[in-house]
Amino acid sequence: MCGIVGLFLKHAKLEPELGHLTAAMVSELRDRGPDSAGFAVYGNATPGITKLCAVARQGPVAWPHIADRLSKATNAPVAVAVIDNHALVKTEGDGDAARTWLIDNVPEATVLSHGQSIEIFKGVGDPEAVAKRLDLAGRKGTHAIAHTRMATESAVTLAGSHPFSTGEDTCLVHNGSLANHNRLRDFLRRHGERFQTENDSEVAAAYLTWRRREGDTLEAALEHSLEDLDGFYTFVVGTRDGFAVLRDPIACKPAVMAETADWVAFGTEFRALVPLPGIANARIWEPEPATVYVWNRGS
Amino acid sequence: MSSDDPWPRMPPRESAIYDRYTIAEIHRAAATGIYDIRGFGAKRRLPHFDDLLFLGASISRYPLEGYREKCGTDVTLGTRNAKKPITLKIPITIAGMSFGSLSAPAKEALGRGASAMGTSTTTGDGGMTAEEREHSSLLVYQVLPSRYGMEPDQLRKADAIEVVVGQGAKPGGGGMLLGQKISDRVAEMRTLPKGIDQRSACRHPDWTGPDDLAIKIQELREITDWEKPVYVKVGAARPYYDTALAVKAGADVVVLDGMQGGTAATQEVFIEHCGIPTLAAIRPAVEALQELDMHRKVQLIVSGGIRSGADVAKALALGADAVSIGTAALIALGDNHPRWQEEYRKLGTTAGCYDDWHEGRDPAGITTQDPELTRRLDPVLAGKRLANFLAVLTLECQTLARANGKSHVHNLEPEDLVALTVEAAAMAAVPLAGTDWIPGRGC
Amino acid sequence: MARKPVAPGHADEPTRNTTFDLAHMSVRDVNRLLHEAEHGDFVIKNPRGLHAIVAGLDGELNVSIDGHVGYYCAGMNKRASVTIGGNAGTGLAENMMSGRVHVKGDASQSAGATGCGGLLIIDGNASARCGISIRGLNIVVKGSVGHMSAFMAQAGTLVVLGDAGDALGDSIYEARLYLRGKVKSLGADCVMKQMHDEHKVSLRQLLDASGIGGTVDVSEFRRYGSARKLYNFHISNLGSY
């Protein structure tokens, strides 16, 4: 149970404000998700560079040393920047190989994201404090998705916080409660997916990853999830060029969208959208149940 | 042996699983095509408080004298947020039961008895009646998924508000009670057509999930100017998570109802096969409160099979702040009394087994609207009986508390208890008697 | 709850024709003052999607809210007239008892839920579960309504000038539905019914009360209600349960 916000900018004009606006939206939803928060910021893509975000599980991690080892192991230049207990690793080598190497060789950290554009940060505790600690307000980019968490049936941990990575430059956040995730988790494990938590949302993310690997477009994967996932959900999926929204057929969990000439935004409650410039004249509507919505830059 | 030698006839052998009751139920289902509905809570044998024992005093612990050396029993509910928390003289309340499932004299009797002992009663599905408010010195008002009878003036007249997510007999019910007719009186009270099958919503109409419950609680507080404690009631399903979420949603009090909790009318399969025993629900709920540093700050009321002062004391020892009685309260009023044995036999049952409360033919005049039958229940006398019962529960609880050296019943703790069975030890997280073994928690 | 008795003109009495600014006051303070008021005209600025604004009013009050409100605005409203300039969140006027609530924008889920009386007017669209379990409330929606509208509606009326989503009137009891636009699908036991003169009169009255009586032709509406086939259990209906 939670709060979700998403902001997708249509032009470059507001890119310097992306983090600041997202942080303001997150503040509005801290009440409904007081346990932890996470955000995915898309932007600052450089051709040929894959970014990987990782967070220390416990205690300090020797990131520069790890970057060195990664570079040697993958035979590619690697740079690292440390932000609080997170590291932003940039590699000129193969992104998937770097991700696999980190997962296999750095048990003291969790890999949160990989891709050309995406950066995921997460933290336990009050969402406003988490956002401040990780300087959400200072980040620039093209689009962002953030989540404030009220844990239902799994522990309040960093690993259990959303967004969950679902593949390169893709992530998922969820508000609701799934009903058949345990069996689905077993099935997905047998089909090669790896899990770090008992969290139902992580299962939804892995399901989408699996469908994409099977050749589905994001839209088709979400259509399939309507058949295969049971429960109550509002999903917001971040992609490299945009985002997608899906509500279950019963649609009890709330969802509000707003759009102006400059942006498209999502909020679990309308008050999360209030900080956005132009909200007074924005078109405001609610996504229909069991309908996949996708927005892309350039469309 | 010659072939004339008689061998003893084999005695009839009943199947353990296809027993007579089960066979009769299959015959009934085949004849009617509809599930069985009844009142009362889970009847089958389950791990319960009887499987726990208090240790009492010995050389290492000293008891308190009765009379002189006080053993306090008061409890204050709603200290977290309410401007007007309520203080009960005894840690036993009367659980939510609707006027509609109970007769008017029964509701009045509950009010009289509870008020005499300085404790509260609770409305049920159908709202608050004027008589109920008049006879109960402390009245808790339920906000249920159905919202029958819900209205703001009643909300304001209540002393506390209880948002009902579910109850122990049917966690997740509501649902349809096909073939269970709505009586004329109930139909009028609830703005429903007469004589139709009962359907109750299983989810609230305007919120789903703890994040939206938090906002609903905020609204209820705004409507009542933040005066009253807000309780959240759940049937025992996932008590650890549910308690934590109730706290996060802003509850002042959590009410936890185990599967032995009674119902006016529910499908038999729901009562017996869904929800966990009260004994298994308490420790996880308490642990959730402790982890949030909310134990005693958000109070926990436990219900579902509380029958004696021993049950009260054990529930408190496991960490509850108070208990709630439903079935036992009705029995105290006179439900299933042997004086009506002739009539029970005519109904095809016997005193002590009567559970067709939904049929509205209760000879004791308690779970019925029939004026002929309800006339049999004298609310003043029945109220006195309830007060007596509550007094006995309290005295028994104090007796056990004193024997364990406690000057207040809230000082009872899990370490005062041992278990007689492995199941009870695991569920209640107390050691098996004579050992220090708690199954599932290492040595 | 007895309201504090206040002599007219007393310093404590909330001023009539008062403006409250939620950018500088809390929802609690505004609600407290309005709960103490017996009558008067009030304007509320900067609601910014906050919840439970003017919930629990009980008085001859006229309240105008400048902007968008969050959940449960005007919840359990009695006697008061509330106008919302923007949109409303979940549970607008839930369980309202009497009076009038008018939202000029859209209303989110469960608008008018379990309402017992009065009139709720939605100029824009309402989303899912509009009029769920109403018990006497009349709702007029000038736009469209979402799925599961009038679910288990017991009494009262839902008038929709636009379209209705899936499962309209599922498990409906005796509430009446009047729809001018298209219905995506009907819920269990909800059927189209004949429009007789009495229905046209009753519909005309509601449209008049909503301020659009002169511009709308009642004969363009169709009536929906309970088929009453699921009122009593029959095994042949098993597929519907």
CATH assignment of the domain containing A212? 3.60.20.10
Domain boundaries, chain B: 51-412
- Joined together, the tokens standing for residue B229 give 């404690």
Residue C150 has pLDDT above 80, yes or no: yes
- Minimum Cα–Cα distance from A270: chain C residue: C49
Mean pLDDT confidence for B162-183: 79
Q: Are C108 and A256 inside 8 Å of each other by CB?
A: yes
Residue C9 has pLDDT above 60, yes or no: no
Q: Are A32 and B211 inside 8 Å of each other by CB?
A: yes
> Looking at residue B391, what is its pLDDT?
98
- Minimum Cα–Cα distance from C89: chain A residue: A270
Total number of residues shown for chain C: 241
Q: Are C97 and B223 inside 8 Å of each other by CB?
A: no
3-state secondary structure A118-144: EEEEEEECCHHHHHHHCCHHHCCCCEE
DSSP bridge partners of A236: A173, A245
Residue C36 has pLDDT above 60, yes or no: yes
Q: How confident is the prediction for chain B on average, in pLDDT?
A: 93
Chain C residues lying within 8 Å of B84, measured CB to CB: none
**Pick among A252, A257, A271, A291 to test the C interface (most C CBs inside 10 A):** A271
Q: Report the DSSP pairing between strands B299-303 and B322-325.
A: parallel
Long-range CB contact pairs, A245-250, < 8 A, 24+: A245/A6, A245/A287, A245/A292, A245/A293, A246/A222, A246/A287, A246/A290, A246/A291, A246/A292, A246/A293, A247/A287, A247/A288, A247/A289, A247/A290, A247/A291, A248/A176, A248/A289, A248/A290, A249/A289, A249/A290, A250/A289
Question: At a CB cut-off of 8 Å and minimum separation 6, what does C132 contact?
Answer: B205, B206, C110, C112, C113, C114, C148, C149, C150, C151, C152, C153
CA-to-CA distance for C94 and B170, rounded, in angstroms? 26
Query: Are A142 and A8 contained in the same domain?
Result: yes
Question: At a CB cut-off of 8 Å and minimum separation 6, what does B323 contact?
Answer: B91, B92, B93, B301, B302, B303, B306, B311, B312, B315, B316
> Looking at residue C1, what is its pLDDT?
39
CATH assignment of the domain containing C163? 2.160.20.60
DSSP string of C2-42, one letter each residue: PPPP--TT-TTSPPSSEEEETTTS-HHHHHHHHHH-SEEEE
pLDDT in tens, C164-179: 999 999 999 999 999 9
CA A97 to each of CA A104, A114, B126: distance values in angstroms, whole numbers, following the listed order = 10, 11, 63
- Least confident span in A97-111, A154-168, B135-149, B310-324: A154-168
For chain A, the chains sharing at least 3 beta-carbon pairs closer than 8 angstroms are B, C
Q: Are A269 and C128 inside 8 Å of each other by CB?
A: no
Interface of A with B in 170-229 (CB under 8 A): 175-177
Cβ atoms A209, A167 nearer than 8 A: yes
Query: Are A102 and A219 contained in the same domain?
Result: no
Nearest to A292 by CA among A231, A241, A225: A225
CA-to-CA distance for B327 and B264, rounded, in angstroms? 10
Q: How many CB atoms lie within 10 A of CB A297?
A: 15
- Minimum Cα–Cα distance from B206: chain A residue: A252
Count structural domains, chain C: 1
CA-to-CA distance for C200 and A234, rounded, in angstroms? 41
A274 touches chain C (CB under 8 A): yes
Q: Are A269 and C89 inside 8 Å of each other by CB?
A: yes
CA-to-CA distance for B105 and B377, rounded, in angstroms? 6
A35 touches chain B (CB under 8 A): yes
B33 touches chain C (CB under 8 A): yes
Residue B91 has pLDDT above 50, yes or no: yes
Chain C: residues touching A (Cβ < 8 Å): 48-51, 68, 70-71, 87, 89-90, 105-106, 108-109, 127-128, 146-147, 165
State the distance between the two ends of chain C, measured CA to CA, in whole angstroms: 42
Chain B residues lying within 8 Å of A34, measured CB to CB: 248
Count structural domains, chain A: 2
Cβ atoms A76, A200 nearer than 8 A: no
pLDDT in tens, C88-98: 999 999 999 99
- φ, ψ of residue C6 to 5 degrees: the values are -130, 130
Mean pLDDT confidence for B333-348: 95
Point out the residue among B190, B195, B219 whose CB comes nearest to the CB of C75.
B219
- Joined together, the tokens standing for residue B130 give 């004027």
pLDDT in tens, C10-34: 444 555 679 999 999 999 999 999 9
Give domain status of residue C67, yes or no.
yes
Q: Are C72 and B215 inside 8 Å of each other by CB?
A: yes
CA C151 to each of CA A88, A123, A296, B20, C170: distance values in angstroms, whole numbers, following the listed order = 50, 41, 36, 42, 5
Nearest to C3 by CA among C57, C79, C74, C63: C57
> Looking at residue C12, what is its pLDDT?
46
Give domain status of residue C7, yes or no.
no
Q: HSE of A169 in the Cβ direction (CA atoms, 13 Å)?
A: 17
> Looking at residue C15, what is its pLDDT?
53
Question: At a CB cut-off of 8 Å and minimum separation 6, what does A80 contact?
Answer: A63, A64, A66, A67, A87, A88, A89, A90
pLDDT in tens, B228-251: 999 999 999 999 999 999 999 999
Could you tell me the pLDDT band of residue C52, with boundaries at 50, 70 and 90?
Answer: very high
For chain C, the chains sharing at least 3 beta-carbon pairs closer than 8 angstroms are A, B
Point out the residue among A32, A151, A175 whose CB comes nearest to the CB of B214.
A32
In chain B, count of helices (H) and strands (E)? 15, 16
Q: Are A273 and C105 inside 8 Å of each other by CB?
A: no
Question: At a CB cut-off of 8 Å and minimum separation 6, what does B259 contact?
Answer: B41, B42, B46, B168, B169, B235, B236, B271, B274, B275, B276, B277, B278, B304
What single-letter amino acid sits at A128?
E
Q: Is A252 one of the annotated active-site residues of the chain?
A: no
Question: At a CB cut-off of 8 Å and minimum separation 6, what does B148 contact?
Answer: B125, B126, B127, B189, B190, B191
- Minimum Cα–Cα distance from B207: chain A residue: A252
Residue B150 has pLDDT above 50, yes or no: yes
Query: Are A72 and A133 contained in the same domain?
Result: no
Distance from the Cα of B216 to chain A's closest Cα (Å) equals 12
**Higher pLDDT pick, B53 / B198:** B53
**Pick among B208, B211, B245, B287 to test the A interface (most A CBs inside 10 A):** B211
Query: Are A220 and A108 contained in the same domain?
Result: no
- φ, ψ of residue A131 to 5 degrees: the values are -60, -40
**Pick among A29, A32, A153, A182 to test the B interface (most B CBs inside 10 A):** A32
Q: Are B152 and C232 inside 8 Å of each other by CB?
A: no
Mean pLDDT confidence for B372-377: 94
Distance of CA B121 to the CA centre of its chain: 12
What single-letter amino acid sits at C40?
G
**CATH of the domain spanning B51-412, picked from 3.90.25.10, 3.30.1330.90, 3.40.50.720, 3.20.20.70:** 3.20.20.70
Residue C116 has pLDDT above 90, yes or no: yes
Question: At a CB cut-off of 8 Å and minimum separation 6, what does B351 contact?
Answer: B336, B337, B338, B340, B341, B344
CA-to-CA distance for C61 and C76, rounded, in angstroms? 14
B214 touches chain A (CB under 8 A): yes
Residue A7: which H helix or E strand, with range? strand A2-9
Query: Are A280 and A239 contained in the same domain?
Result: yes
> Looking at residue C11, what is its pLDDT?
43
> Looking at residue B442, what is its pLDDT?
61
- Joined together, the tokens standing for residue C101 give 């609530």
Distance from the Cα of B331 to chain C's closest Cα (Å) equals 32
Chain B residues lying within 8 Å of A252, measured CB to CB: 203, 208-209
Tell me how many degrees the CA angle B269-B271-B274 measures, rounded to the nearest 5.
80
- Joined together, the tokens standing for residue B132 give 């109920």
> Looking at residue A265, what is its pLDDT?
97
For chain B, the chains sharing at least 3 beta-carbon pairs closer than 8 angstroms are A, C
CATH assignment of the domain containing A104? 3.30.70.1340
- Joined together, the tokens standing for residue B76 give 């204050």
Query: Are A162 and A185 contained in the same domain?
Result: yes
What single-letter amino acid sits at A60?
P
pLDDT in tens, A107-160: 999 999 999 999 999 999 999 999 999 999 999 999 999 999 998 877 788 888
Question: At a CB cut-off of 8 Å and minimum separation 6, what does A92 contact?
Answer: A48, A49, A76, A77, A78
- Minimum Cα–Cα distance from A287: chain C residue: C127
Q: Report the DSSP pairing between strands A231-238 and A242-247.
A: antiparallel
Q: For residue B359, what is the DSSP state?
A: G
Q: Are A270 and C89 inside 8 Å of each other by CB?
A: yes
Mean pLDDT confidence for B169-173: 87
Nearest to B162 by CA among B55, B48, B82: B82
Q: Are B206 and C132 inside 8 Å of each other by CB?
A: yes
For A163, the domain range is: 3-44+125-296
CA C36 to each of CA B71, B124, B281, C3, C31: distance values in angstroms, whole numbers, following the listed order = 44, 30, 43, 6, 9
CA-to-CA distance for A83 and B413, rounded, in angstroms? 46
> Looking at residue A293, what is its pLDDT?
95
CA-to-CA distance for B180 and B100, rounded, in angstroms? 13
CA-to-CA distance for A153 and A174, rounded, in angstroms? 14
Could you tell me the pLDDT band of residue B178, with boundaries at 50, 70 and 90?
Answer: low
> Looking at residue C204, what is its pLDDT?
97
Chain C residues lying within 8 Å of B176, measured CB to CB: 241
> Looking at residue A151, what is its pLDDT?
84
Point out the residue among C49, C105, C146 whose CB comes nearest to the CB of A269.
C49
- Minimum Cα–Cα distance from A249: chain C residue: C147
> Looking at residue C8, what is its pLDDT?
47
Chain A residues lying within 8 Å of C185, measured CB to CB: none
Q: How confident is the prediction for chain C on average, in pLDDT?
A: 92
**Longest CA span, chain C:** 69
Could you tell me the pLDDT band of residue C201, with boundaries at 50, 70 and 90?
Answer: very high
CA-to-CA distance for A222 and A229, rounded, in angstroms? 10
* Residue ranges in chain A whose pLDDT is less than 50: none
pLDDT in tens, B13-44: 999 999 999 999 999 999 999 899 999 999 99
- φ, ψ of residue B45 to 5 degrees: the values are -65, 130
Residue B62 has pLDDT above 90, yes or no: no
CA-to-CA distance for B373 and C27, rounded, in angstroms? 51
**Pick among C51, C73, C108, C151 to test the A interface (most A CBs inside 10 A):** C108
For C135, the domain range is: 18-240
User: What is the ipTM metric for this complex?
Assistant: 0.92
Residue A226: which H helix or E strand, with range? helix A218-228
What share of chain B has pLDDT > 90, as a percent? 80
> Looking at residue C213, what is its pLDDT?
86
Q: Report the DSSP pairing between strands A143-149 and A2-9.
A: antiparallel
